[in-house]
Amino acid sequence: MNKNTKVLALKYRPQTFDDLIGQEVVAETIKNSIKADKVPNAYLFTGIRGIGKTTIARIVAKSLNCLNGIEKLCKESLCENCEAISSSRHIDVLEMDAASKTGVDDVRDLIEFSRYGPTSSKYKIFIIDEVHMLSKQAFNALLKTLEEPPEYLKFIFATTEIKKIPITVVSRCQRFDLSRIKSTELLNFIKKIKDKENGKVTNEALKLIVKISEGSVRDALSLLDRALLSLESEKELDLNAAQKIFGYFDKSQLIDMFNLILKGDENKVIEIYRNIYDQGVEPKIFINDFLEILYYFKNINSLTLEGTNFSLNDEEYNNIKEISNNVDNNVFTLFWQFTIQTLGELDIVSNQHLSVEMFLLRLIHLKSFKPKRETSLSGDDLIDKKDRDQTNVPSQRINKETINQIKNISQEKKIKLESQVETKTTNDFSIKSFSELIKLCLEKKEMKLKYELEKNVNLVKFENGRMEISFNDNLDKDFVKNLSTKLLEWTRHRWIISFSKNQGEISIRDKEKNEQNDLIENTKKSDLYQSVLEYFPDAELIDVKSSKKDND
């Protein structure tokens, strides 16, 4: 270990293969190749930041040039070569940062330098960090030397963007994909570092550090360094203090907020959010954490506490499981779509805090979600499930001209009650077209119904009091029941909604998409677009927005 620095990420940087964590397979493979004297011309290490790419490159360089050999690789008392490589001053081991030297001239100098053999060691080694930053011409200049280098020359590449490296370069290297460090392994590692530094940090605070670091050892050590310096030496860093230091907050607040959203309690939802905001949590961080909680609500039955990467404790895990079992999965999917949309809106608003508050209120007013429960269907209104299972034919392809409206018993009772109470009441309100129905859903804030009508419904026939449709496989199972109830509430009379085997018109969303595609194709034929291509041959038209001005 490098004891001459106070920064933990450098102080506890691995110096041998035995010091590495989480990369045992890679280390064993490299050691075996060196022992068998089957060293490749070039190594390529790829993976996320802070998992040991450059560190392993230096260890490989020391293993190849150590005076004691790979079997007795220096650990404590370093030989001359290992000492020089560790401090990045060995004359035969050149470290180059491709982010600052990207041009073909830099690579030519490298190739010219490679023509001379090593002066004090067995191999001359070029370590190129962030190799994906090299230009296309630089990669091409490197190809020949990379494929057939002198016996004494070895290349070691490190990158976080493997897809940006030409395949011709990758194929000439022995590639190693370094994995993220497992949560338990990283937790045990920083515990040992904490003990060596005599730090006072609770286990829950360390778990938070592991979660934020996302499998990166360097990030974990940097966060631990920051945490140890944030409190006085005699105080212990607990979870609450760590959340304030790193800008995170207790996930149980989000769980409580989600439960209140389902109950429709606007005041308490906004109060909880404002308390979170006052803790210094940025709106984007809040939205991302909200997405994380939505993921757990949707998939909690397939997760374990270990699988959540220390994000939840036992109590939070059980609370989420209890709530999710009483909510339809479609609710979580709909909430996820709204949250992703809001995340994009935050970049175009000046006050992100107010935008998040409006987002939470919008979730509360999505009225279509209901607890899970079986729906009872009556007599002739049932679709024969047994026949459908036996024939194994999708519902929209059933060989019947029309399938009667689907309604439950409670709806039948409500219809009879309405007819008895309102025998003398008339209402002239009517819906004259399919587009009027969609506008009405928007006005009534029935966004789920509006989404289903636009996306998953194909209109066959529409008239006041009756609608004939076909649909795709994505249509919500409660769509007809919910729409019938709302139409009865809005128009004061019962609507007949029937399914047809005819395909009908394309959906509203598909129609808009086709119109947009036609607009793009017509624009491509215009003189303006052709003149643009003359100056920019690689230009591609991806969107057209029409500008209509009212001259009245």
Cβ atoms of residues 284 and 352 within 8 Å: yes
pLDDT (0 to 100) of residue 397: 42
pLDDT (0 to 100) of residue 313: 63
Domains 8-177 and 251-364 share a fold: no
pLDDT (0 to 100) of residue 372: 47
d(CA 261, CA 280): 23
Which two tokens mark 51? 């998992």
pLDDT (0 to 100) of residue 306: 52
What SS3 class is residue 371? Answer: coil
Q: What is the residue whose two structure tokens read 């506890």?
A: 12
* Extents of the domains making up the chain: 8-177, 183-246, 251-364, 384-500, 508-552
Cβ atoms of residues 136 and 159 within 8 Å: no
DSSP 408: B
Which two tokens mark 485? 């109830």
d(CA 223, CA 211): 11
* Nearest C-alpha neighbor of 206 from the set 198, 196, 193: 193
d(CA 445, CA 365): 7
d(CA 260, CA 361): 11
d(CA 491, CA 479): 18
Element holding 514 (H helix, E strand):
helix 508-524
Which CATH number applies to 8-177? 3.40.50.300
Q: Which residues contact 334 (CB under 8 A, 6 or more apart)?
A: 366, 369, 448, 451
pLDDT (0 to 100) of residue 210: 87
Q: Are strands 402-403 and 496-500 parallel, antiparallel or unpaired?
A: antiparallel
Beta bridge mates, 177: 46
- What is the full DSSP assignment across 455-502? HTEEEEEEETTEEEEEE-TTS-TTHHHHHHHHHHHHHSSPPEEEEESS
pLDDT (0 to 100) of residue 87: 83
Scored b (16 or more CB within 10 A) or e, 116-154 reads: eebeebbbbbbbbbbbbbbeeebbebbeebbeebeeebb
pLDDT digits (tens), the chain, 552 positions: 455 557 888 888 898 888 899 889 999 999 999 988 899 999 999 998 898 999 999 999 999 988 888 877 887 778 888 888 888 888 889 888 888 888 888 888 888 888 888 888 889 999 999 999 998 888 988 888 888 888 899 999 999 999 999 999 999 999 999 988 888 889 999 999 988 888 888 888 888 888 888 889 999 999 998 888 877 767 888 888 887 788 776 677 888 888 888 888 889 999 989 888 887 778 888 888 888 888 888 888 777 655 445 566 667 778 888 888 888 888 888 888 889 988 888 888 888 888 899 999 888 887 544 444 443 333 344 334 434 444 444 444 434 333 344 444 444 445 454 444 444 344 446 788 888 888 888 888 888 888 888 888 888 888 878 888 888 878 887 888 888 888 888 888 888 888 877 777 777 777 777 777 878 888 878 877 777 777 777 777 777 776 654 444
What SS3 class is residue 237? Answer: strand
The CATH architecture of the domain made up of 183-246 is: Orthogonal Bundle (1.10)
Number of Cβ within a 10 Å radius of residue 8: 23
In angstroms, what CA-CA distances link 488 with 437, 441, 482, 491, 550? 13, 13, 10, 5, 38
d(CA 133, CA 137): 12
Cβ atoms of residues 260 and 272 within 8 Å: yes
What SS3 class is residue 538? Answer: coil
Cβ atoms of residues 127 and 93 within 8 Å: yes
- Quote the Cα angle for 342-347-353, to 5°: 65
pLDDT (0 to 100) of residue 471: 81
Cβ atoms of residues 49 and 160 within 8 Å: yes
Q: Which residues contact 96 (CB under 8 A, 6 or more apart)?
A: 106, 110, 126, 127, 128, 129
Residues written for the chain: 552
3-state SS record for 157-182: EEECCHHHCCHHHHCCCEEEECCCCC
Which CATH number applies to 251-364? 1.20.272.10
Which two tokens mark 98? 């491709």
- What is the full DSSP assignment across 421-460? HTTT--------SHHHHHHHHHHTT-HHHHHHHHHTEEEE
d(CA 153, CA 150): 5
- Quote the Cα angle for 380-382-386, to 5°: 120
Number of Cβ within a 10 Å radius of residue 333: 11
